[in-house]
């Protein structure tokens, strides 16, 4: 658990040695390594237990650094970076020569993002090169939103953790692909398709996260089961909360945001009713629920209504809940 100039110096030294440094962002913690070193990138895949065809996001300080690593930096990329960076938007463009294709899952394109956290921007600046950074969890599991979450999954010897406090956003960045005929969202996040379309002044497609069989995945990371707690998890309606808790045959933890959760006896983790606050707390709540070693985690379905901004955030939350509760 570390922060400050001395920690950045240690982190930079580790990165130069090709070793791993977990860094805070406004979304979730990333598992960082030198994005220009094949050896370092290989360590990330192996530490996470991640299939090497699932590409990594490359973190930069700003669009000037991004342009040094992209083969082409389209006008749309410049416009999006100006509007949303530093921030939770990953932009896919053709990869240049300096990021090994191991980081891109073997493919021709690279996802670039400038994270909105001062500690991590200072780290990348001091290192002078971009960092690959998948979420700092074991592959398929719940992403970390606290430094202690990272320390639970990796030893201090393997991963040096820069502690930047709790992640404010709480769910992973929106991923937009600019290498297709039209801009396409591959992963929903807190920056909505509507905002991206408004800034670009053109329509934005949203790739179906779960294509029918036979079709190839738009992004290998969009596998159905993901962000999964250890205990089996299911979605329930608000009026099923009482029954879920009354089931004496198994121990159940309920994540509830509505008034119904207040009335329910037993183990309920109260979730915020505001979309942004719910998103910020979701992964921590799933991890806290898991820590009680329940037989089941029952998650109350989230609202569909609200204003446009809320609707988009609930949409991104719902995407994570679908994956957390998908059959494994
Ligand atoms: O908020 C975030 O994006 C966090 C923080 C640490 O920046 N990172 C993160 O990385 O969520 P990860 O590896 O857990 O998820 C990256 C997603 C995956 O779904 C991956 O398949 C997709 O982005 N992706 C990365 N590069 C890609 C590429 N070149 N083409 C298509 N999809 C890509
Ligand atoms: Mg991840």
For 42-97, write each residue's pLDDT tens digit. Answer: 999 999 999 999 999 999 999 999 999 999 999 999 999 999 999 999 999 999 99
Indicate the pLDDT class of residue 212, thresholds 50, 70 and 90. very low
Distance CA 45, CA 42 (A): 5
pLDDT at 213 > cutoff 80: no
Confidence of residue 227 (pLDDT cuts 50, 70, 90): confident
Residues 66, 96 contacting (CB under 8 angstroms): no
What pLDDT, on the 0 to 100 scale, is given for residue 280? 98
Q: What is the pLDDT of residue 215?
A: 44
For the CA of 56, the nearest ligand: 1
Is any ligand 1 atom within 6 A of the Cβ of residue 90? yes
Residue 45, classed as helix, strand or coil, is helix
Q: Could you tell me the pTM of the whole model?
A: 0.94
For residue 328, the model assigns a pLDDT of: 79
> Distance, CA 56 to ligand 1 centroid (Å)?
5
Name, in order, each residue with C-beta under 8 angstroms of 181's C-beta and a sequence gap of 6 or more: none
| Confidence band for 23, pLDDT divided at 50, 70 and 90 | very high
What was the pLDDT predicted at 309?
82
Query: How close is the Cα of 140 to the center of ligand 2, in Å?
Result: 7
Measured CA to CA, the distance from residue 238 to residue 256 in angstroms comes to 8
The pLDDT score that the predictor gives to residue 220 is 55
How are beta strands 30-34 and 20-23 bridged, if at all?
Answer: antiparallel
Q: Which two tokens stand for residue 315?
A: 């949409």
* Per-domain residue ranges of the chain: 5-206, 233-324
pLDDT at position 106, please? 96
Tell me the C-alpha distance between 168 and 161, whole Å: 18
Measured from the CA of 143, which atom of ligand 1 is nearest?
14
- Looking at the CA of residue 115, tell me the nearest atom of ligand 1: 7
| Spatial separation of the C-alpha atoms in residues 270 and 155, rounded to whole Å | 31
| Residue range 190-195: mean pLDDT, rounded | 96
pLDDT on residue 223: 57
Closest ligand, as measured to the CA of 185: 1
Residues 6+ apart with CB under 8 A from 118: none
Q: Which residue has its alpha carbon closest to ligand 1 atom 20?
A: 221
Decide if 81 contacts 114 (C-beta within 8 A). Answer: yes
Q: What is the DSSP letter of 141?
A: B
Q: With bands split at pLDDT 50, 70 and 90, how would you rate the model's confidence at 246? A: confident
Q: In DSSP terms, which residues pair with 159 in a beta bridge?
A: 20
For residue 192 and ligand 1, the question of a CB distance below 6 A is answered with no
pLDDT in tens, 125-173: 999 999 999 999 999 899 999 999 999 999 999 999 999 999 999 999 9
What is d(CA 10, CA 23) in angstroms, rounded to the nearest whole number? 13
Nearest ligand 1 atom to the CA of 113 is 7
* Ligand 1 pocket, mutate which of 45, 51, 55 (most atoms under 8 A from CB): 55
Task: Report the CATH number of the 5-206 domain.
Answer: 3.90.870.10
Query: Same fold for the domain at 5-206 and the one at 233-324?
Result: no
Q: Which ligand has its closest atom nearest to the C-alpha of 141?
A: 2
Ligand 1 pocket, mutate which of 28, 49, 90 (most atoms under 8 A from CB): 90
Q: How far apart are CA 165 and CA 263, in angstroms?
A: 32
| CATH for the stretch 233-324 | 3.40.50.11030
Residue range 259-310, pLDDT digits in tens: 888 877 778 999 999 999 999 999 999 999 999 999 999 999 999 877 888 9
């Amino acid at each position: 658990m570390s922060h400050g100039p001395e920690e950045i110096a240690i982190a930079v030294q580790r990165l130069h040695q090709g070793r791993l440094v977990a860094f805070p962002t406004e979304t979730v913690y990333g598992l960082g390594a030198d994005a220009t070193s094949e050896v370092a990138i290989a360590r990330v895949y192996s530490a996470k237990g991640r299939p090497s065809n699932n590409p990594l996001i490359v973190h930069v300080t700003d669009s000037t650094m991004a342009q040094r690593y992209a083969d082409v930096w389209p006008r749309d990329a410049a416009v999006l970076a100006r509007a949303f960076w530093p921030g939770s938007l990953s932009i896919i463009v053709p990869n240049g020569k300096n990021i090994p294709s191991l980081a891109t899952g073997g493919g021709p394109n690279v996802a670039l993002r400038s994270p909105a956290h001062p500690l991590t921007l200072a780290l990348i600046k001091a290192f002078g090169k971009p960092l690959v950074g998948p979420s700092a969890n074991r592959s398929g599991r719940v992403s970390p939103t606290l430094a202690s979450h990272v320390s639970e999954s990796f030893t201090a010897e393997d991963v040096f953790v820069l502690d930047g406090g709790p992640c404010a956003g709480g769910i992973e960045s929106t991923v937009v692909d600019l290498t297709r005929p039209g801009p396409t969202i591959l992963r929903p996040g807190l920056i909505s398709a509507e905002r991206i379309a408004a800034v670009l002044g053109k329509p934005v497609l949203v790739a179906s996260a779960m294509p029918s069989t036979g079709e190839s995945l738009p992004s290998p990371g969009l596998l159905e089961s993901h962000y999964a707690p250890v205990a089996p998890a299911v979605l329930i309606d608000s009026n099923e909360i009482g029954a879920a808790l009354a089931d004496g045959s198994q121990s159940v933890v309920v994540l509830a945001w509505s008034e119904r959760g207040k009335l329910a006896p037993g183990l309920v983790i109260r979730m915020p009713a505001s979309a942004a606050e719910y998103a910020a707390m979701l992964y921590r709540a799933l991890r806290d629920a898991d820590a009680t070693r329940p037989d089941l985690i029952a998650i109350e379905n989230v609202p569909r209504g609200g204003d446009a901004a809320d609707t988009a955030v609930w949409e991104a939350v719902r995407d994570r809940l679908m994956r957390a509760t998908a059959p494994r």
